[in-house]
Structure 1
Amino acid sequence: MKFRSSTRNTLSSAHRGFTLVELLVVIAIIGVLVALLLPAVQQAREAARRAQCVNNQKNIGLALHNYHDTYNNLPYLGFETADGDTISVFGRILPFIEQNALYETLDFNGRANAGKNTLYRTTPIDVYSCPSETLTLGESNSGDYHWSHQRYSYAVCVGNSNYNQDDVNNWDGLWTYKSGGTAFKMGNHIYGLKDITDGTSNTVMVSEVPINTNDQGWQGMYAVGVYASGAGFTGYLGPNTRASVDGGRRCWNANDYLQKIPCHNGGGNWRTATFAAFSMHPGGVNACNYDASVSFVPETIDIWTWRARTSPQGGEVNTNY
């Protein structure tokens, strides 16, 4: 009998399950581990997204160099004598990012909107989209995509004051020259890499801009890269600025951005715009220089250093970030 009792006790002990307290302790431990691991996972994902963003800008930089090798100048930016609704720099380099078929659909006669170039305006292009941003088709509610436009994550640098490189914003005296704050072709002026006298490795050519997530309206031209008027940014404000941005002809709702960006009208036309470099990456933006090298620019960069980096012929001493 004692032998049977011992066997029964042993079997009973072997089949005993977890108590409620033990189960709660295990769940608590798992919760703590998840809480500890989640930030690391998020950081790893953001690092991967930032690396992809760097790769995108590198490809854009190389495409611009290939364009320059082909035509001996950089693409047309617009604005001096042309409508800001013309096809942008990003449309003109499509053959150099393996988008020949889309390029062949372009109509360069006149504006890019009002029903023209619908495929170009509405086709998402991976290399023009930072994975940390929310890809948005503006005016997606327009019938037959008549006014719809894809918003991009990148823009070319147009200088260190405003789009027109003049005193519309009561410019504070830093060196500038009208319609020449960039090496991209503007109006009848043809510019190229030879005009980057401050050094191609010291001057910013392309950087990030924020995507407006409101898909129902026009909401201004910030990051509407399909048009010349939305394909640029300036160095007047620092990266990831919290200051009010001159929206040019039309402002936006600050809440339309993942990080609120306030807006004001400084002069009422596109040429007054001071669109700033802006990203969803913590701490700064990726920027591609005129030599096609890409680096991360901290948002704490001295504003005068940033303005020097975003002017091609300022003669300033361009120090490291």
Structure 2
Amino acid sequence: MCSSTKRRLSRSSGFTLVELLVVIAIIGVLVGLLLPAVQGAREAARRMQCSNNMKQLGLALHNYHSAFKVFPANVGAKASGNPNRGASWLVQILPQIEQSSLYDKLTFVDTDFSTQDGANRNWEVLDDAIVPGLNCPSNDLPNFRENTANGPTQALGAPEVYMTQVVDYVGVIGYYFTPGKRSGDAGYTPGARSDGSRNVWTGYGWMQDAGVLGIHNSKFRNTRFASIIDGTSNTIAIGEHSAEMVHADGNRTDSRPSSHAGGAWNAGPAFHGWLGWTANITVPRWPINSIYSGNYTQRYGYTLHNGFRSNHPGGAMFTMGDGSVQFITDSVDFDDVFMAMNGRNDRYSYNQEF
């Protein structure tokens, strides 16, 4: 073969610039088409894991009830002025979620789980303690918060700052608006019950005693299966709050009900008659994934109406009183259906697909 033929073959064996650009363009189009599908598959997997987390919590509630004949509750102080903040409902179910070793190390006498007023005798046990299954995989928020140890806690050897877990699942203790009623109707008052005796304005929102979970103090007591007269499959026990709350101006805040002092383990003072703030529970007042309304009772981890939100497109995950898990869309009828779903004995019947 002559040298000129070899040169022609050599020149024709590679890609031209135009061909290379066409290939790159095709690859770019394919990536653009495939990426949403890949992201959708990843989100589907994360949502399934979140659903499994909440299923395990539902089983834990039932196992707790089997052992103690009541559902768990935030433990509040028995009297006003008691500096000790009690343990949250999440602490109560630690043995039921395979965390007995952590639970057995805790002390419940003369201790403040928030480290705000009294001494937190559990600071060392809870410092950096991480319980699997209490955070949604779609959550992009920090799963720990810094706690400033007060003087009595530092006297026990605590550093100035220690860490506690922040979780993405919140107990439901009732509803804000009476389902099935409108402004001007008898019984429409926010938080009203049929006899009106179980409403308490705490300064941080309306405290209801109408959910599967609740407060245990001098007035309120743990819920039993028998008191869920609307049916356990119709009543929400736990909701998801695993995303930032978006403000109208685009700002975002972490308003998860466990994002306050003490994280997941603190119940707050929650005493009666002046109830005070509490944590890790909610009385929903605004729709799922709603934009910040400007009302302070929606914004902070220690306020009662911060509700539910998630990074799952279109809604959030919920554990029902029977232990089943449902994905409820943010387009659900809020005033009647969703309010009724948060109450155990409102006697409002609904029939809606989510």
Which of the five TM-score ranges fits, normalised by the shorter chain? Answer: 0.7 to 0.9
Residue 292 (structure 1) shift: 0.2
Match of 1:240 in 2: 289
Match of 1:112 in 2: 113
CA contact (8 A) 2:173 2:281 kept: yes
Residue 293 (structure 1) shift: 0.3
Residue 318 (structure 1) shift: 2.9
Output the CA distance in 2 between the equivalents of 1:276 and 1:282.
Answer: 17
Gap runs ≥5 in structure 2 = 150-157, 178-188, 200-207, 246-253, 268-277
Residue 77 (structure 1) shift: 1.8
**Aligned match of 1:125 in 112, 123, 131?**
131
Give 1:116-155 correspondences, 5 Å limit: 116-118=121-123, 119-120=125-126, 122-133=128-139, 134-139=141-146, 144=159, 146=161, 148-155=163-170
- Amino acid corresponding to residue 337 of structure 2 in structure 1: T
Give 1:69-88 correspondences, 5 Å limit: 69-79=66-76, 81=78, 85-88=85-88
Q: Secondary structure at the match of 2:33?
A: helix
Residue 8 (structure 1) shift: 3.2
* Identity %, equivalent residues: 33
Match of 1:289 in 2: 320
Correspondence 1:226 to 2:265:
yes
- Amino acid corresponding to residue 190 of structure 1 in structure 2: N
Match of 1:180 in 2: 209
CA contact (8 A) 1:151 1:211 kept: no
User: Residue 101 and residue 173 in structure 1: after superposition, are their counterparts in 2 closer, same or farther (change >3 A)?
Assistant: closer
Match of 2:249 in 1: none
Correspondence 1:208 to 2:240:
yes
Gap runs ≥5 in structure 1 = 163-169, 214-218, 249-261
Output the CA distance in 2 between the equivalents of 1:4 and 1:55.
Answer: 72
Output the CA distance in 2 between the equivalents of 1:145 and 1:87.
Answer: 21
- Amino acid corresponding to residue 290 of structure 1 in structure 2: G
CA contact (8 A) 2:255 2:299 kept: no
Give deviations 1:250-269, integer Å, cap 9, x for gaps: xxxxxxxxxxxx738xxxx9
CA contact (8 A) 2:77 2:85 kept: no
User: Residue 300 and residue 121 in structure 1: after superposition, are their counterparts in 2 closer, same or farther (change >3 A)?
Assistant: farther
CA contact (8 A) 1:209 1:279 kept: yes
Give deviations 1:89-126, integer Å, cap 9, x for gaps: 11111111111111111111232132432232531222
CA contact (8 A) 1:232 1:275 kept: no
CA contact (8 A) 2:176 2:191 kept: no
Q: Name whichever of 290-299 and 144-153 sits farther off.
A: 144-153
Q: Secondary structure at the match of 2:27?
A: helix
Higher strand proportion (structure 1 or 2): 2
Number of residue-to-residue matches in the alignment: 290
Output the CA distance in 2 between the equivalents of 1:106 and 1:307.
Answer: 36
